[in-house]
Amino acid sequence: MVAVRTSGLRVLTVDGELEALRLLVERRDSLTRRRVQTVDRLQALLAELLPGQSKKDITTGQAKRMLASVRPRDIAGKTRRRIAAEELAELISVEAKMKKATAELKQMVLARGSHLMDLHGVGPVVAARILADVGDVARFADRNRFASWTGTAPLDASSGEQSRHRLSRAGDRRVNHVIHIVAISQLRIHTDGQTYYRRKRAEGKRPLEALRCLKRRISDAIFRQLVSDAEAAAEHDTEAGPGGHRGASHVSSAAGLHPHTSTLDQPLPGPAPATLRPAATTVKSPLAATG
């Protein structure tokens, strides 16, 4: 921890590790936006070079093959192909930087003794965003306060005899967004999250209401994991004694953990990760694994 003195007598305490984590995750987000823009430009050029053959979700390998198959003869076509080749080179470079940033984020998350990535659908980018924005989880009195901050606490939207709740638009929007991504990824395959969502739908809840319930479930699981990690770190500090240093295992002791990936961590669309495992204050093995 580093103390930084500001104007007057106010002193701000800054966690250098968390600040580095925040900087890197924002860099990763910037690269993601840059990639989307590059893909859009490349797809537009390929659609003009090869009418009817463009793809919505294109890989660099597919783009290479498509460019290799076209041999324009006019100056406009040749220029278009050259620019497309430059955009492809840009895409390859951006994806390489994204991969490197993701790997670095994973190392930093594990170095903090965090087990957030043991939760289904939470990869390095999601875990890093949560850690960077949450800071000290002790500032939240309970899971309800945490849910209010993440924007997953229910808001009453009842009308007449109908009892309804709606999604909250309050709270930290970045964390709410990553929780939303995790929720959507859990709905794509047969998992506990999908089963939970369907049960809520069977109870008469509308799609957005059922999604709100799932997001709240994820928020609670994240909060429990943050608290568990904080308690483990405190226990380690106590055992280390004076002069000791904080540390934590970089690999969960739970057997059969899935790879630390999520939809946010993949440069291209792919299979969604499984749902959250049953909530607990200790780490348990996920029910399913995805690549």
Residues 156 and 47 in one domain: no
**Continuous H helices in the chain:** 16-49, 60-68, 75-111, 124-134, 143-150, 173-187, 192-202, 207-240
Residues 197 and 285 in one domain: yes
Residue 5 belongs to some domain of the structure:
no
DSSP letter for 113, please: T
- pLDDT at position 157 over 90: no
Q: What is the pLDDT of residue 191?
A: 78
Residues 81 and 212 in one domain: no
Beta-carbon contacts of 97 under 8 Å, excluding residues fewer than 6 positions away, are 31
Residues 184 and 93 in one domain: no
Which has more confidence, 179 or 2? Answer: 179
Residue 2 belongs to some domain of the structure:
no
- Nearest-Å Rg of the Cα atoms of the chain is 23
pLDDT digits (tens, 9 = 90+) for 34-76: 999 999 999 999 999 999 877 777 889 999 999 999 999 999 9
Residues 219 and 242 in one domain: yes
Residues 172 and 279 in one domain: yes
Q: Which amino acid type is present at position 154?
A: P
The percentage of residues in the chain with a pLDDT greater than 90, rounded to a whole number, is 58
Q: Kindly report the number of other CB atoms within 10 A of residue 204's CB atom.
A: 9
CB 61 within 8 A of CB 88: no
Residues 119 and 205 in one domain: yes
Q: Among candidates 120, 58, 114, 113, which has minimal Cα distance to 87?
A: 58
Q: Note down the domain range covering 290.
A: 115-291
Q: What is the pLDDT of residue 53?
A: 79
Residue 55 belongs to some domain of the structure:
yes
pLDDT digits (tens, 9 = 90+) for 80-117: 999 999 999 999 999 999 999 999 999 999 999 999 99
How far apart CA 168 and CA 148 sit, in angstroms, is 8
Provide the number of structural domains found in the chain: 2
How far apart CA 218 and CA 108 sit, in angstroms, is 22
Residue 71 belongs to some domain of the structure:
yes
- Residue at which a domain ends, from 70, 90, 111: 111
- Residue at which a domain ends, from 87, 111, 135: 111
Residues 274 and 162 in one domain: yes
How far apart CA 101 and CA 104 sit, in angstroms, is 5
Residues 143 and 284 in one domain: yes
pLDDT digits (tens, 9 = 90+) for 237-285: 776 655 554 444 443 333 333 434 444 444 333 334 444 444 444 443 3
- Residue at which a domain ends, from 67, 91, 111: 111
Residues 158 and 246 in one domain: yes
Which has more confidence, 252 or 174? Answer: 174
Residue 1 belongs to some domain of the structure:
no
Q: What is the pLDDT of residue 52?
A: 83
Q: What is the pLDDT of residue 27?
A: 97
Residues 92 and 123 in one domain: no
Residues 119 and 70 in one domain: no
Residue 93 belongs to some domain of the structure:
yes
Residue 3 belongs to some domain of the structure:
no
- pLDDT at position 4 over 80: no
Residue 181 belongs to some domain of the structure:
yes
Q: What is the pLDDT of residue 241?
A: 58
Averaged pLDDT of the chain: 79
